[in-house]
Structure 1
Amino acid sequence: MRVKAAVLHQSGGHKRPYKDSKPLQIEEIILEKPGKEEVIVQIKAAGLCHSDLSVIDGNRIRPMPMVLGHEASGIIVELGEDVKGFEVGDHVVFAFLPSCGHCDYCMSGRPALCDTGAKANNEGMLLNGDRKIKNENGEEYFHHLGVSGFAEYTVASVYSLVKIEKEYPFEVAALFGCAVMTGMGAVVHTAKLTAGESLLVVGLGGVGLSAVLGAKAAGASQIIAADVSDSKLVVAKEFGATDIINSGEECAMDKLKQRITRGGVDKSVEFAGAMAALDFAFNATKKGGVTVTGALPHPDARLSLNPLTLVGQEKSLKGCYLGSCVPAIDIPNFLALYRNGNLPVDKLITHRLKLEDINEGFDRLASGEAIRQVIVFD
């Protein structure tokens, strides 16, 4: 099958604006037939995420050349061998880490830590080690996180897919594969926010604003949104934040602890990917508080932390990947919250693009002009 796709041939070294340097090349690629427990999905919508941008910028090392895109939804159009639980015509959302289902982590309900899935993602393969993408010269391309959603069609393992009801708009459903699953999951699963607790959200991109929406749905008594961008703070207020604070201001911590709260928040979540942001989130939590980071900073970044604070104040610092979710359970449940009006994540979408506009879209993402941009395929 010949399809159009956005291909990254080199990670890092591209000058902005990307609309001129064009790190992503629109090419015609060749998809091989799906193998065992694989399907072909027609992509209907794909979101632009900072995790994609980190690969373009060179902050996240992946094998090249690669068809990018890891937040997507679509329709199954062809089945490989031994496919169970899926049929042609099913609507699906991708989970950006496939879970094997039988390792110790998967069996204990923690598929985000699946070793087999992580190995496949790091190597740019599908879960079983397949590569199903070639160019017209027969050169093999790599898959991005088992998805490669910046394409008209893709081959995927069934263990990267979650079947959803057909009532949901594809452009909204796609967001649940990354932004919503990560933001909402960080709040309810990793931080374990309970009704009546206070929450600080640091970093107000698509994931951070999903966390704001998730905290509201979970019954937080106070939702404080923090960023260094005043325009994003205004948006956070519209999304349900009770208080906003520019964390780059000199007296921001004193303001948070003395004026906005009584000594700090119960829980905090950070998605900015900067050490200053994580430091702010950790210091803003009160004694016995929990700080969660779901961001992916540069691999060389290091956090300076006094262990006495962890001991003496009984604080916790936790990492969060995939929202600590079980995608097959949580994606349908979170979608039901959207359907019921309790999780209005459609407000995240600021731009709808064609595949050919993808480089310009990443310019907007890098500059902070957009929240969530979605490529919509006809």
Structure 2
Amino acid sequence: MESNSKSETAGKVLRCKAAICRNPGEPLVIEDIEVDPPKAWEIRIKIICTTLCHTDITYWKMKGGLVAAFPRIFGHEAVGVVESVGEHVEEFIVGDTVLPVFLPNCNECRDCKSQKSNLCTKFQNNYPPNMPRDGTSRFRDMNGEILHHFLWVSSFTEYTVVDVTHAVKITPEIPADKACLLGCGVSTGIGAAWKVAEVEEGSTVAIFGLGPVGLAVAEGARQRGALKIIAVDLNPEKSDIGKKFGVTDFVNPKTCGEKPVSEVIKELTNGGADYCFECIGLASLMQEAFLSSRKVLSLSQLLLFV
């Protein structure tokens, strides 16, 4: 393991390749860029592997609003190695394998210390386009034009700079092509089952959409001991994939005839699933997920009838 002082490129501007989006909806173009050294409480990372999330696509299409900023370097699911560190950095050293994350964790504020929230209040922001502490960019193209960051990660580049609150050290033993998914899709899905729903052992779960997030929900529900995990997806090939992650039943809406999916799920669960997860982002599916849920009469509801 190298020490911080042994990085030959520390303190220097690096030239590397990056995929740049010049305008919303336009194809990304591979260009040479310059990446500044990390400032205080920042680290510069050599990206090993990155992937594409639907959130990248959503912002890529965004033509206006406070969060739309171009030209920009997208990407927020990645894994890399620390190339150099800025002042006051104690959490990381050169050579560490790290996972950049878009939600900050200062380990100091009330919400970061709480088990009920992960929205840092010390670095409270509304997705500005650049670094969280000073609002400036660490990227420039070869003409000197500023290139904006994305979700404080920007992984579609050979080198990026992130704040220490936006990085987590991980073991290098995790394969890079799998580790990068921990930055968004896997943590979102498993976190929904573990942290939000707190799925109980023996419960029933219905998952609408078996993409990366849906598969992660299935894995989280399996780990929590769910008795029945039902996946709903239009792609029949997802059935076999889902089984590897704990899916016990597969429902393809195309083969349900005129029967609503919610009715099929109610039949499979004897009245409705204990937990339903909508993992695509469609209002129509949210309604169907709600209708597929088991009806539970709470004390507050009971009082309405008294």
Q: In which range does the TM-score fall when normalised by the shorter chain?
A: 0.7 to 0.9
Q: Map residues 1-378 of structure 1 onto 2, 5 A cutoff.
A: 1-12=14-25, 14=26, 23-58=27-62, 61-109=67-115, 112-115=118-121, 117=123, 119=125, 122-128=127-133, 129-247=135-253, 249=256, 250-251=258-259, 252-258=261-267, 260-288=268-296, 312=301
Identity percentage of aligned residues: 37
TM normalised by structure 2 equals 0.85
- 2:216 and 2:244 mapped to 1: Cα distance? 12
Is the Cα–Cα contact under 8 Å of residues 29 and 133 in structure 1 kept in the other structure? yes
Q: Secondary structure at the match of 1:65?
A: coil
Alpha-carbon displacement from aligned partner over 1:279-335 (angstroms, at most 9, x marks no partner): 11111111239xxxxxxxxxxxxxxxxxxx997499xxxxxxxxxxxxxxxxxxxxx
- 2:55 and 2:247 mapped to 1: Cα distance? 25
Alpha-carbon displacement from aligned partner over 1:111-165 (angstroms, at most 9, x marks no partner): 632255552x621122212311111121111111111011111011111110012
Q: Secondary structure at the match of 1:112?
A: coil
Alpha-carbon displacement from aligned partner over 1:320-373 (angstroms, at most 9, x marks no partner): xxxxxxxxxxxxxxxxxxxxxxxxxxxxxxxxxxxxxxxxxxxxxxxxxxxxxx
Deviation at 1:48, TM superposition (A): 1.2
Q: Secondary structure at the match of 2:127?
A: helix
Alpha-carbon displacement from aligned partner over 1:214-247 (angstroms, at most 9, x marks no partner): 2112211000001233333443234321111124
- 1:2 and 1:288 mapped to 2: Cα distance? 59
Q: Which runs of 5+ in 1 are unaligned?
A: 15-22, 290-308, 315-378
Is the Cα–Cα contact under 8 Å of residues 262 and 289 in structure 2 kept in the other structure? no
Q: Which moved more, 1:206-215 or 1:246-255?
A: 246-255
| Greater relative contact order structure (CA < 8 Å, 6+ sep) | 1
- 1:170 and 1:117 mapped to 2: Cα distance? 28
Whose strand fraction is larger, Structure 1's or Structure 2's? 1
Is the Cα–Cα contact under 8 Å of residues 287 and 313 in structure 1 kept in the other structure? no
TM normalised by structure 1 equals 0.70
Paired AA for residue 265 in structure 2? L
Q: Secondary structure at the match of 1:172?
A: helix
Deviation at 1:43, TM superposition (A): 0.4
- 1:24 and 1:135 mapped to 2: Cα distance? 14
Alpha-carbon displacement from aligned partner over 1:67-90 (angstroms, at most 9, x marks no partner): 000000010010111101110000
Is the Cα–Cα contact under 8 Å of residues 247 and 253 in structure 1 kept in the other structure? no
Is the Cα–Cα contact under 8 Å of residues 71 and 94 in structure 1 kept in the other structure? yes
Is the Cα–Cα contact under 8 Å of residues 4 and 26 in structure 1 kept in the other structure? yes
Paired AA for residue 229 in structure 2? I
Deviation at 1:274, TM superposition (A): 0.5
- 1:271 and 1:173 mapped to 2: Cα distance? 21
Is the Cα–Cα contact under 8 Å of residues 8 and 24 in structure 1 kept in the other structure? yes
Q: Secondary structure at the match of 2:262?
A: helix
- State the superposition RMSD in angstroms: 2.4
